[in-house]
Amino acid sequence: MWLQLLVNAFSLGSFYALIALGFALIFGVTHAFNLAHGELIILSGYLAYSLNVGLGVPFWGVFPPCMLVLMALMAALHGLLRLVKEPFELNSLVLTFGLALVLQNLMLWGFGADYKLLAAGGSAFNPSWLPVTVTRTQLVLIVLSLVGTAAVYLLLTRTYLGKALRATIQQREAARLAGIQVQRMSLAAFGMGGLLIGLAGPLFGRNAYLHPAGGTEATLIAIIITIFAGVGKIRGILIGGWLLGLVESFTAWLVGGSWRELVSAVILIVLLLKWPQGVLTGNRTRTLP
Selected from 24, 25, 51, 95, the binder of other proteins by CB under 8 A is 95
Q: What angle do CA 83, 34, 199 make, to 5 degrees?
A: 120
Q: Which residue, 180 or 271, is less far from other proteins as judged by CB?
A: 271
**54 is a contact residue toward other proteins (CB under 8 A):** no
Q: Which residue, 117 or 161, is less far from other proteins as judged by CB?
A: 117
Min. distance of Cβ 160 from other proteins in angstroms?
Answer: 28
How many residues contact other proteins, by CB under 8 A?
79
User: Helix 37-49 to helix 88-111 angle, to the nearest 10 degrees?
Assistant: 30
Selected from 150, 257, 282, 284, the binder of other proteins by CB under 8 A is 257
Q: Which residue, 177 or 273, is less far from other proteins as judged by CB?
A: 273
**224 is a contact residue toward other proteins (CB under 8 A):** yes
Min. distance of Cβ 228 from other proteins in angstroms?
Answer: 7
Min. distance of Cβ 103 from other proteins in angstroms?
Answer: 8
Q: Which residue, 164 or 207, is less far from other proteins as judged by CB?
A: 207
What is the rounded distance in angstroms from the CA atom of residue 263 to the CA atom of residue 266? 5
Segment 161 to 220, residues that bind other proteins, using CB under 8 A? 207-209, 211-214, 216-217, 220
Q: Which of the stretches 63-71, 102-110, 149-157, 174-182 binds other proteins when contact is defined by CB under 8 A?
A: 102-110
Q: Which residue, 117 or 151, is less far from other proteins as judged by CB?
A: 117
Selected from 117, 139, 151, 182, the binder of other proteins by CB under 8 A is 117
What is the rounded distance in angstroms from the CA atom of residue 99 to the CA atom of residue 156? 29
Q: Which residue, 96 or 155, is less far from other proteins as judged by CB?
A: 96
Which amino acid appears at position 258 of this protein?
S
Selected from 122, 181, 266, 282, the binder of other proteins by CB under 8 A is 266
Selected from 5, 73, 180, 280, the binder of other proteins by CB under 8 A is 5
What is the rounded distance in angstroms from the CA atom of residue 177 to the CA atom of residue 179? 5
How many other C-beta atoms can be found within 10 angstroms of the C-beta atom of residue 122?
12
Q: Which residue, 21 or 218, is less far from other proteins as judged by CB?
A: 218
What is the rounded distance in angstroms from the CA atom of residue 277 to the CA atom of residue 289? 17
Contact indicator for 216, 52 with CB cutoff of 8 Å? no
Q: Which of the stretches 40-48, 66-74, 110-118, 174-182 binds other proteins when contact is defined by CB under 8 A?
A: 110-118
Min. distance of Cβ 85 from other proteins in angstroms?
Answer: 4
